[in-house]
Structure 1
Amino acid sequence: TIRYANTIFVLSNRERSDNNNNNNNNNKINNEGSYIIEQGTHDSLMKNKNGIYHLMINNQKISSNKSSNNGNDNGSMEMIMDR
């Protein structure tokens, strides 16, 4: 979780389940007013060079001067912005 001014960034990693796919999983706004900004695997989110996830990961790599990628991540990622 990253907090900046009145915006809170939450990264959530959860395993995909074909049995768990229903229309409620794809809602862009939840009942508390939070917005899902980006959603996908690590690899698919990193392909969007203008995306917030890509920017945050690259900023983290720059600040730590090392890569923390130890392989492919097949889990699903969501970025939620709460105002």
Structure 2
Amino acid sequence: MLVMMCLAMGLVFEIFMLSWLFAKLGFLSDSFMRRCRKHAVVIILVMSAIITPTSDVFTLSLVALPMWILYEVSILIVKRTVTHK
């Protein structure tokens, strides 16, 4: 269980690099990420429900909140990357 949690959260923290790379390649824009924010929150909640070992809301929110913050920061990274082209 611990190994699965560490691997899953390690993959989640790669969202910065993926968003930067896709923005550099022209596949991703900050306006698209803002428009799809509702979908991203649902996907984040589903992923956190899969990652967490228990079914309580507290643990789910402990995993989902950092993922959501990472998504919001990724929007800022993509915006900065696109404007510096």
Q: Same fold (TM over 0.5)?
A: no
More helix per residue: 2
More strand per residue: 1
TM-score by length of 1: 0.31
